[in-house]
Amino acid sequence: MGPNPLYHDVSGAPFKIGQRVRVIGSQDEMLDPRYRRRTGIVSYFEFECGCGQTYPSDPMIGVIFLRVRTEEFWKEELVVIQEKVVRKFFRRM
């Protein structure tokens, strides 16, 4: 698997790096309500932070938002809003 987090696509992962997603909410009280309905871009996958992730289908998903703030979410908390992968964004980082 390699070092974590992974900044490249992982076969079997629920999203692709660079996909635009929207936070749809969660039954988990740990979700910060300020992120509900916000959109961002999938930045990385984390499989070893000790939250019960499984490789490859259930990682913590790093999403970068405007102003370069990154937060982590579960796949159930996100939905793809644009199928096109945004690679140009990551070339500038």
pLDDT in tens, 14-58: 999 999 999 998 777 788 888 899 999 999 999 998 888 999 999
Burial of 63 per CB tally in 10 Å (0-12, 13-18, 19+):
buried
Residue 58 belongs to domain with CATH number: 2.30.30.630
The rounded mean pLDDT for the chain is: 86
Domain that holds residue 46: 19-91
Nearest residue to 92 via CA among 47, 22, 41: 41
Please indicate, yes or no, if residue 86 is contained in any of the structural domains: yes
Nearest residue to 6 via CA among 51, 62, 70: 62
Please indicate, yes or no, if residue 56 is contained in any of the structural domains: yes
Please indicate, yes or no, if residue 10 is contained in any of the structural domains: no
Number of domains in the chain: 1
8 - beta bridge partners?
none
Please indicate, yes or no, if residue 29 is contained in any of the structural domains: yes
Task: Considering only residues 44 and 87, tell me which one the structure prediction assigns the higher pLDDT.
Answer: 44
Q: Which two tokens stand for residue 13?
A: 């992962």
CA distance 36 to 26: 9
Please indicate, yes or no, if residue 7 is contained in any of the structural domains: no
